Amino acid sequence: MSSTFIHLAAISRNKAESFVEVNALNPSSWIADKYPVDGSIDNFSDVLLRLESTNHCNFECTFCPHPTMSREKGFMSEDIVKTLLEDAASLGFRSLDLRNFGEPLIDRRLASFGAYARNLGFTKIYIHTNGHLLNAARLDEWAESGITDVN
């Protein structure tokens, strides 16, 4: 297996344009100090859970694989979302990202999912969006529900 190059900005969120070489078979100390080399995780408190409540999207961006996705488009049931959040919270997850390949703004239940996650102990709740359907009322609703970050 060859080495992987990781941009330093991805590690430290700085604007440096330098890269660090990482041996993929022996992770660098910034990972090995936190996670065992065997891949097991004992503490999920700083692991981000990504939950895709919908895989519908209102755009067909040329850089995104969504338009070529072959799985059926739909919405995850509220019961499944709540069960996943409950299970993740019981494992110690505290960070939640409400998106994947779908556009989260298409799912009108996000505020309720955010509030449910917040009540379970999630402290960081993210939404990444293309912003096309975003408005001030929705941002206010999300803030009140406990959603902490919108990108």
Per-domain boundaries in the chain: 1-37, 44-150
Residue 19 has pLDDT above 60, yes or no: no
| Stated pTM of the model | 0.74
Per-residue confidence band for 70, with pLDDT thresholds at 50, 70 and 90: confident
Architecture of domain 44-150: Alpha-Beta Barrel (3.20)
Question: What sign for the dihedral angle of Cα 35, 41, 45, 46?
Answer: positive
SS (H, E, C) 29-89: HHHHCCCCCCCCCCCCCCCEEECCCECCCCCCCCCCCHHHCCCCCCECCHHHHHHHHHHHH
